[in-house]
Structure formats: C-alpha cells, structure tokens
Amino acid sequence: QVQLVETGGGLVQAGGSLGLSCAASGSIFSIRAMGWYRQAPGKQREMVATITNGGNTNYADSVKGRFTISRDNAKNTVHLQMNSLKPEDTAVYYCAARTAWGSTFNSWGQGTQVTVSS
C-alpha cells in the first residue's frame, strides 16, 4: 500500500500562486505515476495533472499553461506549482498515485483545501 500526504494548501488571491507538495511512503517501488486531482463544490473529482516515473506529464485543459507538476523520484515526492490562480480553481486537491497493480490511480491522500478568492 502507498500512503500519500499533501501539504501546502491555503487561501490565495486570484492571480496569485500556491505550491502543493505530496510525500509518498509505503510501497513506493510500486509507484508508476503520481498526480493531482481536485474536487470543487458541486462537481465531481477531476484530474489536474499527472506525471510518470519517466517524467511524462499530462494536464487538464483548464490548468495547462498555469500549473506545473514535477517530481523527485529519489525523494518520493511530487509538487504542483499553481500560478495565475482563478476562483474556479477552488477545490480540495488530492495527491494520487498509480501503482504497478492498477491501470488507474488507486492511492489517495487525505486532501488539502485550496481556496482562491476573487
């Protein structure tokens, strides 16, 4: 099992920046990709950004050009740098991992609140 812990959520003004970090522990050698999902009020959980162990990235259209995902494989961490934040980015952000035993993201952190004020 993989355990994920997010840090860095908070309140930020529209147009501002915020960085999220996630530390993985447990069966870290099973991880094949990590990413960030979010769930906004009244909406279903959606993918924000993912990154494979090899460094390939994927972004939701709504955040492309504003958010950057990065990882440090040696430290088992993933970071999400969020710039030019918009009120619609307000959500609970969840760190996620895909392991060798699944084709979908199957490990989840507890979530961290990101609130963007207008």
pLDDT in tens, the chain (118 residues): 899 999 999 999 999 999 999 999 999 999 999 999 999 989 999 999 999 999 999 999 999 999 999 998 788 899 999 999 999 999 999 999 999 988 899 999 999 999 999 9
CA gap 85, 14 in Å, rounded: 5
Tokens 């959500």 found at: 91
* pLDDT (tens digit per residue) in 57-86: 999 999 999 999 999 878 889 999 999 999
The whole-chain average pLDDT of the chain stands at 96
Paired sense of beta strands 31-39 and 107-108, if any = unpaired
